[in-house]
Amino acid sequence: MFSKETYTSRRAALRKLLQGEKGIAVFIGNAEAPAQYRDNCYKFRQDSTWLYYFGIDEPRFASVIDLEDGTETIFADDVSIDDIIWMGPQPSVAQQAAEAGVAHSAAYSGLGSAVGKALAQGRPVHTIPPSRYYNTLKLKELGIDGQPSEALIRAIIAMRLVKTPEEIAELDAAGVLGQKMHTVARKGIRPGRVEQEIVGEMEGVTLSEGWGVSFPTILTQHGEVFHNHGHAGVIEPGKLMVVDAGAETNSHYASDFTRTYPTGGKYSPRQRDIYQIVYDCHELAFSLIRPGVRYSDVHLAVARLMLDRLGQLGLVKGDLDEMVAAGVAGLFMPHGLGHNMGLDVHDMEDLGEDLVGYDTDQLRSKQLGLGSLRMARRLVAGNVITDEPGIYFIPDLVELWKKEGRPFVNYAALAEGYYDFGGIRLEDDVLVTGDGARRLGGTRLPASPDEIEAAMAADRA
């Protein structure tokens, strides 16, 4: 938890952004999430917006902020003697509220009364979209499961998009831990091992020093499958291993890195050719990041460089402007260049991707790839984003485009030489500074093909 002043001033800033709005704002912290049954739960993860404004990292807390008179109340239950036996002595709710700078507290059931009173008086009740099924149920139970409040959502996004120095310190720490995970992974990659063994080693590191993983670890020899969470594969020589993983600190800030390793320690010439394109796209993006630049434009600059270079390999052919406009890069990179990161690895995704990632004058593309871009906004200092270009050869997708007769693509060359290639992605976490950008997380992980081969040779020495 940060200091009381941090939370007090954040809530004051939120109320200021919402000046003129009537009614109350309701914040529902998370409950425990059952894995098998109600008393056997996953590791507790608090709601990120709750953490941001109240900091209390315990289940079943809620709060109401009166937007008109500024009164703040936290609702949660004090522990009973039974709870003391099972969970030990706990600070009172009033004490916890005081640590967050909140003057009033009441039993959890008081939330229902507070909301009911506001509804009876015809006052607006501002809510955010539920991030979990528990919250969905709770909103239904409170009778406020209608439209979330766009005013409240926009105010929260405006604040959380710009990280403060104390948040940046946490994000750097998350970066250091995430890079430690990746180093464990790189050292663990050896033909004959099972992928799951390495995943366990990586995740053990995050649990020893942090909350755990910031998202389910991707470690796969099928990099062309983006969200491949199976880890039963045996590592084969000559393959590419995509490792996309990050850590969450005990304070719940995230990191998110991707590296793509040659399973045998050396890239084949064909692998190196594609890797070099991805690497150059990554570096180009990093060089363009600065306040005032639209990240959608950085995505498009990457698409242009990628198509130009794929053209040099004979995999696409045509006018570069036309290919960029037609979204041909989406065949090779069907995802966006990056996303916001903070308390969530895709920061605030529960609040709505478009509201978080697009300025009010930006429309989301419908093209494959660019349409998946989660962060398109004009960058401002304090934004934390990922820079993660990739090139993938997805046979089903290539065949679909071929069937649809889409131009510019050398389908024969792809079918002949790339259907067993897999994919390559390279990702770092980037802070937008006053005049440019810096990578988060201390010493950068090896990133270029030469750096990676040298590191793997040293690991094996």
Nearest to 214 by CA among 182, 186, 262: 182
Q: Measured in Å, how far apart are the chain's first and last C-alpha atoms? A: 43
Indicate the SS3 state at residue 157. helix
Shortest CB 355 distance to a second copy, Å: 13
Q: Which stretch binds a second copy (CB under 8 A): 99-107, 217-225, 282-290, 424-432?
A: 217-225
Q: Which stretch binds a second copy (CB under 8 A): 30-38, 269-277, 284-292, 414-422?
A: 30-38
C-alpha span between 280 and 411 (Å, rounded): 24
Residues 6+ apart with CB under 8 A from 29: 46, 47, 50, 54, 56, 58, 59, 60, 61, 62, 63
C-alpha span between 362 and 294 (Å, rounded): 10
Residues 46-105 that bind a second copy (CB under 8 A): 47-48, 81, 84-89
Shortest CB 97 distance to a second copy, Å: 20
Of positions 228, 251, 260, 386, contacts a second copy by CB under 8 A: 228
Q: Which stretch binds a second copy (CB under 8 A): 66-74, 304-312, 391-399, 441-449?
A: 391-399
Nearer to a second copy, 24 or 226 (CB): 226
342 near 306, Cβ under 8 Å? no
Pairing of strands 428-432, 423-425: unpaired
Shortest CB 315 distance to a second copy, Å: 18
Q: Which stretch binds a second copy (CB under 8 A): 111-119, 146-154, 191-199, 295-303?
A: 191-199
Q: Which stretch binds a second copy (CB under 8 A): 152-160, 202-210, 296-304, 313-321?
A: 202-210
407 binds a second copy (CB under 8 A): no
146 binds a second copy (CB under 8 A): no
> Rounded to a whole number, what is the largest CA-CA distance in the chain?
74
37 binds a second copy (CB under 8 A): yes
C-alpha span between 46 and 59 (Å, rounded): 7
C-alpha span between 75 and 424 (Å, rounded): 48
207 binds a second copy (CB under 8 A): yes
Residue 388, class by beta-carbon neighbours within 10 Å (0-12 exposed, 13-18 middle, 19+ buried)? buried
Q: Which stretch binds a second copy (CB under 8 A): 16-24, 96-104, 221-229, 407-415?
A: 221-229
Nearer to a second copy, 230 or 407 (CB): 230
61 near 67, Cβ under 8 Å? no
Pairing of strands 125-126, 24-28: parallel
Number of residues that bind a second copy (CB under 8 A): 63
φ, ψ of residue 249 in degrees (nearest 5): -75, 170
AA identity, residue 38: R
Query: In this structure, what token pair is assigned to residue 74?
Result: 């936290």
Nearer to a second copy, 399 or 459 (CB): 399
- The binding track of 101-140 with respect to a second copy, each residue x by CB under 8 A or -, is ------------------------------xxxx-xx---
DSSP H or E stretch at residue 126 = strand 125-126
Residues 279-338 that bind a second copy (CB under 8 A): 334
Shortest CB 202 distance to a second copy, Å: 8
Using CB under 8 A as the criterion, which residues of the chain lie in contact with a second copy when the complex forms? 31, 33-45, 47-48, 81, 84-89, 131-134, 136-137, 196-201, 203-209, 215-216, 222, 224-229, 250, 334, 343-346, 349-350, 394, 396-397, 400
